[in-house]
Amino acid sequence: MISESNVKLTIALANPDLDPEEQEQETRNLLREIKDLDVESAELVAVTETPQGSKALGGFLLGVLQAEVSLANLKKVLGFLGDRLGNKTIELEVEANGKKLKVKASSQQELMTAITAAQNFVAVT
């Protein structure tokens, strides 16, 4: 359970050009980089939490990870995602104070708009 002062991010990468093993490696690389950003926690999403229509590989959802981030580090983590995932198709779900915002982006401009929406959402909740 996330604390009231933390934000839960669920990041789903969607790259149809990669095979499942390559997608898993890309997700694990991103997870390792996010862990270096001083987040509260970061992990792959276990199959037990499978959203409808998702694929799983090795007990984890393919291309999906979650991170719990303090409000103080949220801007840094979102900035990192913007730099790192700018031209990739992603779904970002932000959960704060019991409310959720889900956005999709498939370009740098869409991702920047999604990040701004996520920051505004957290500021209001």
Per-residue pLDDT of the chain (125 residues; tens, 9 = 90+): 455 579 999 999 988 888 888 988 999 999 999 999 989 999 998 876 555 555 555 567 888 999 999 988 888 999 898 888 878 889 999 999 888 999 999 888 998 898 899 888 888 76
Nearest CA among 81, 74, 72, 66 for reference residue 10:
66
CB atoms closer than 10 angstroms to residue 11: 22
Query: Phi and psi at residue 82, in whole multiples of 5°?
Result: -60, -40
Counting the structural domains of the chain, the total is 1
Q: Is residue 1 part of a domain?
A: no
Cβ–Cβ under 8 Å, residues 56 and 50: yes
Region class of 58: left (phi > 0), else alpha (psi between -120 and 50), else beta = left
Its domain, for residue 68, covers 6-124
Q: Is residue 50 part of a domain?
A: yes
Q: What pTM, to 2 d.p., does this model score? A: 0.83
